[in-house]
Structure 1
Amino acid sequence: MTGEEARAAFLAWLAAERRASPHTIEAYGRDVADLLGFLTRHLGHPPGAEELLALPLADLRAFLAARAAEGAGNSTRARQLAAVRGFLRFLARRRGAAPTALAGLRGPRRRPPLPRALTPEEARAFGTGIGAVRMTERTPLPAWQAARDAALFTLLYGCGLRIAEALALTVGEAPLPGRDEALRITGKGGKTRLVPVLPVVREAIAAWLAQRPGAGPEEPLFTGVRGGRLDPAVAQRTMRDYRRLAGLPEHATPHALRHSFATHLLAGGADLRAIQELLGHASLSTTQRYTALDTEGLLATWRMAHPRAE
């Protein structure tokens, strides 16, 4: 069996037995073809099935190094390695052998993308300006919806909540003026945390509830047109429409307000452990991603301000 015949059999197996999506099959087929092309150049001839199973670890490492030299990033090379692993294991099962190189092969580490925060002015705009921009060319945003969205986005930025955490709140849990207690939030894994609430957040919540006289304490705090709990997709769509009309960046999403909360606290001198507690992160390493953003901001300031930076 030639390498190309093995590749075709692998893709047929993915489609018929693994029921992989067409996109996965296309990507894996391309990745395995890249490997076969590299080995053809590296060995001087197209590899057969037996040669593929006997590949030394050095050859697979050379393949990944060649892809890196061509500009493939860590994520691309990690995906290609997953495809190659699957291909060689499939071939080993069909041939009753074991691919010798896989046991010692470690792929490139994927670096999680850094959170993308807004500027303080951009973050505040979602609480103060959303009612001032017409959401379509002809229809202004209804007063009740403007109050609801301003309250929701002010809460997300002011308390660093996830959108699901904010939408899970009831009227009885609403942080209102005159109340000193912190907001009790149940986050991922059922973990409960206490989050202080700024006066501006309490005022925005009160303005929204003024649009809903008689709302019972067990009713959802944030509701949609029909009175049920607000759907996260509706909040995301409202934010998308507003940011485009207001000229705000495309990465401005409800979760970006949470990122902005953490980033701005860190820039203001807040302790990393305190930010971890406020965000409800189980691990400090998750919170430490924001230190990379703060470092990048310091470097940008240094480059602009230092006389010898150019």
Structure 2
Amino acid sequence: MTVLVGHIVDSALASSGQAKEPLWKEHLRAEMALLQPSIQELVWAWLSRQRSPHTGAAYGRDLREWLAFCNQFDLDPLTVDVGHGDVYARSLQVRGLSARSAARKLAAVSSWYTYLVRRRAIKANEFGGANRPETNRKESKTVGLTGSEAAAMVRAAIRDPHRQRLRTAAIIGLMISVGPRVAEVVALELGSLGYERGMRTVRIVGKGEKIRTRRLPAEAGQLLDAYLAERGDAPGPLFLTAGGRPMRTGGIVDLVSRIARQAGLFMPERVTPHTLRHTFATVAEESGASVREIQDALGHASAATTEIYLHAPKRIENDPSVRVAKVLTWTGS
């Protein structure tokens, strides 16, 4: 069964454009070496039932870290209790992880234990009671760029001196004007582009394999057309490397950071693909789009998630510190 389930997971990953086994699977196998074969089978079964390959990969990495922690301190993962979970939660915070990231990792491990209970491999999910760090649902570490900064990013991408500048411009233009997740960009196929009601569209496969069809602005379409003239019309992944292979998430992360530097943005190292997604949301709202329209465009299941994107820049721009500063005396005279 291990071979069968592992094959299913491999097939799912292959369909997402990954040509070889990712490192997280190799590392996970190493940390699982001391687990019973039947439990190893349940690990792969649990991962294979996740709705998207990206979620499965994230859960696999999170579980690998927990198993590494257990191996380090000679703990049996199947007999741990809530106290061990509390210690692990504390270790994540000591490592410097944000409350949200630590809470997500703990939730992933707890999900695995819940699955083991359902499969009757263990009697109860003792890990599930571990203290999770409190997160502020209105806070986000990512803040979108201003409209002028976003425009500077597009101009820098168009002027990019690298040989793949047409592809770079197409990616930056698409990400800022449409707001997809970086994983969604990587997963785009040539066939994802289309027409509906006389308008150009891009078909995006989001979390949970949910599909949303977005309108492609004419300006972004022109950048894509220039890239496609160079790429050719061969079916397959939309964005390719110079060697003709599918682009990966890391490549786009590096590309965005490089263009941010070339655009002369402040602290360009903090500009990520997720920054561009936030930028789409904030600029859209400032241009008159409703929260519901932005929610649908981004593929958020809840409007509360969308509001997190929109709250951060308002909180900074409307901070009352400016009002206080205006009534203070700032000179010694």
What's 2:216 paired with?
Answer: 197
Letter of the 1:188 counterpart: K
Structure 1 residue 105: Cα displacement: 10
The root-mean-square deviation of aligned C-alpha atoms, in Å, is 3.9
Structure 1 CA distance for aligned equivalents of residues 294 and 306 of structure 2: 7
SS in 1 for 2:283: helix
CA separation of 1:164 and 1:108: change in aligned 2, threshold 3 A: closer
SS in 2 for 1:288: helix
Structure 2 CA distance for aligned equivalents of residues 220 and 275 of structure 1: 26
Structure 2 CA distance for aligned equivalents of residues 197 and 309 of structure 1: 48
What's 1:46 paired with?
Answer: none
What's 1:159 paired with?
Answer: 178
Determine which structure has more spread, i.e. the larger CA radius of gyration.
1
The answer on 1:263 being equivalent to 2:282 is yes
Structure 1 residue 165: Cα displacement: 1.3
CA separation of 1:246 and 1:308: change in aligned 2, threshold 3 A: closer
Letter of the 1:215 counterpart: D
Structure 2 CA distance for aligned equivalents of residues 74 and 253 of structure 1: 17
User: Which structure 1 residue ranges, 5 or more long, are not aligned?
Assistant: 1-10, 20-24, 33-72, 83-103, 134-139
Q: What is the aligned residue count? A: 219
What's 2:204 paired with?
Answer: 185
CA separation of 1:147 and 1:111: change in aligned 2, threshold 3 A: same
Letter of the 1:155 counterpart: L
Structure 1 residue 258: Cα displacement: 0.6
Percent identical pairs in the alignment equals: 30
The answer on 1:226 being equivalent to 2:238 is no
Structure 1 residue 283: Cα displacement: 1.4
The answer on 1:17 being equivalent to 2:75 is yes
Contact 2:153 2:263 in 1 (8 A): no
Contact 2:153 2:172 in 1 (8 A): yes
Structure 1 residue 184: Cα displacement: 2.3
The answer on 1:125 being equivalent to 2:152 is yes
CA separation of 1:163 and 1:105: change in aligned 2, threshold 3 A: closer
Structure 1 residue 107: Cα displacement: 6.6
The answer on 1:286 being equivalent to 2:305 is yes
- TM (norm. structure 2) is 0.55
Structure 1 residue 306: Cα displacement: 9.4
Q: 2:257 aligns with which of 211, 230, 240?
A: 240
Contact 1:118 1:257 in 2 (8 A): yes
Structure 1 CA distance for aligned equivalents of residues 263 and 279 of structure 2: 18
CA separation of 1:161 and 1:108: change in aligned 2, threshold 3 A: closer
What do residues 247-295 of structure 1 show as CA deviations (whole Å, max 9, x unaligned)? 3232211111111000111223321111110000111111110232243
Q: 1:171 aligns with which of 177, 187, 190?
A: 190
What's 2:162 paired with?
Answer: 141
What do residues 4-54 of structure 1 show as CA deviations (whole Å, max 9, x unaligned)? xxxxxxx999611258xxxxx9x959x69xxxxxxxxxxxxxxxxxxxxxx
CA separation of 1:125 and 1:295: change in aligned 2, threshold 3 A: closer
Alignment of 1:52-91 (within 5 A): 75=99
SS in 1 for 2:243: coil
What's 1:109 paired with?
Answer: 134
What do residues 198-247 of structure 1 show as CA deviations (whole Å, max 9, x unaligned)? 111111101111212x422x222110121121112112112223333443
